[in-house]
Amino acid sequence: MNATPYARVLFAGPDLAEGSFAELFRRQLLALRGEAALADIVDTSAGHDQLWQRVQASPRPLLVIDLEPQSSSQHLDWLRSELGRLDAPEQVFAASLLGQFDADPAGAACTLAERRELHLACVDVPALPESHSWSCIPPHARRLLLCNGPRCTRRGALPLWKKLRETLKAAGKLECEGGVHITRTQCQFPCDEGPTASLYPEGEWYRIRDEEEVLRWVQERIVEGQQVPGLLMRSQ
């Protein structure tokens, strides 16, 4: 699965250098496109400077597949705008799964690479609005910090992040007045009890391990306003 019209396809996103998601993605990509494709992975966990450098050094025409799990139309427009500032932007294209991952992330990315009708040019990108959602503090009453450190990631924190957002949104409690703003963090500790989530301003620490516990925590703690002692972490 590598017969694209591009001289190179780059796969860019966070958590592609280490951790369980990176291991899965690399194994799948190796099976689909061969060992050479592993050099086309660009981890953006620490920022996008490496991506800009790789794009500059890559032959044209070039396709960048956006693997940001929180991607949106606005994020993709920003990415295209930044790519459009580099050399030969008329030969650079971008495409995104818009955060819709399944059990086969590399397969989905490679399929997207073949679908030319879904690739967008990086020139003449519509101007971003002067006032946009990501420049504003989202309304909220609480902040939930979900650990995405290496050990919590290996315990399944990445799919729990998606499930938490979906469940809070379905309950009408995601980033709204009286609701919860959820943020991924690096290691919070204690790792052996994770995945770890901490709720502020209460300063409560929880162990949330699977989708069933996500549903229980959102319903009992956020919707009903009750304590959930079975999920609380205790100070030693």
At 132-160, the pLDDT tens digits run: 666 688 899 999 999 988 788 878 888 88
**Who's near 204: CB < 8 A, 6+ residues apart?**
198, 232
- What is the reported pLDDT for 51? 97
- What is the reported pLDDT for 69? 78
| Residue-wise pLDDT tens digits, 47-97 | 899 999 999 999 999 999 999 877 788 889 999 999 999 999 999 999 998
**Phi then psi for 5, rounded to 5 degrees?**
-80, 10
Across 211-233, average pLDDT? 96
- What is the reported pLDDT for 134? 61
Residues of the chain with CATH 3.40.30.10: 137-223
Has residue 1 got a pLDDT over 70? no
Residues of the chain with CATH 3.40.50: 8-121
Q: Tell me the C-alpha distance between 183 and 197, whole Å.
A: 10
Q: Tell me the C-alpha distance between 163 and 69, whole Å.
A: 12
Is 0.75 surpassed by the pTM of this model?
no
Contact 125, 80 (CB under 8 A): yes
Q: Tell me the C-alpha distance between 185 and 194, whole Å.
A: 13
The residue length of the chain stands at 236
The encoded tokens of residue 7 equal 């001289």
Query: Closest Cα partner for 100 from 45, 40, 165?
Result: 165
- What is the reported pLDDT for 129? 65
Domain 8-121 has CATH 3.30.300: no
At residue 234 the predicted structure's pLDDT band, cuts being 50, 70 and 90, is confident
DSSP state of 6: S
What's the mean per-residue pLDDT of the chain?
Answer: 90
CB atoms within 10 A of CB 29: 23
State the architecture of 137-223 in CATH terms: 3-Layer(aba) Sandwich (3.40)
Q: Tell me the C-alpha distance between 235 and 104, whole Å.
A: 39
- What is the reported pLDDT for 83? 96
> How far does the chain reach from its first CA to its final CA, in angstroms?
52
User: Directed axis angle between helix 105-114 and helix 20-33, to 10°?
Assistant: 50
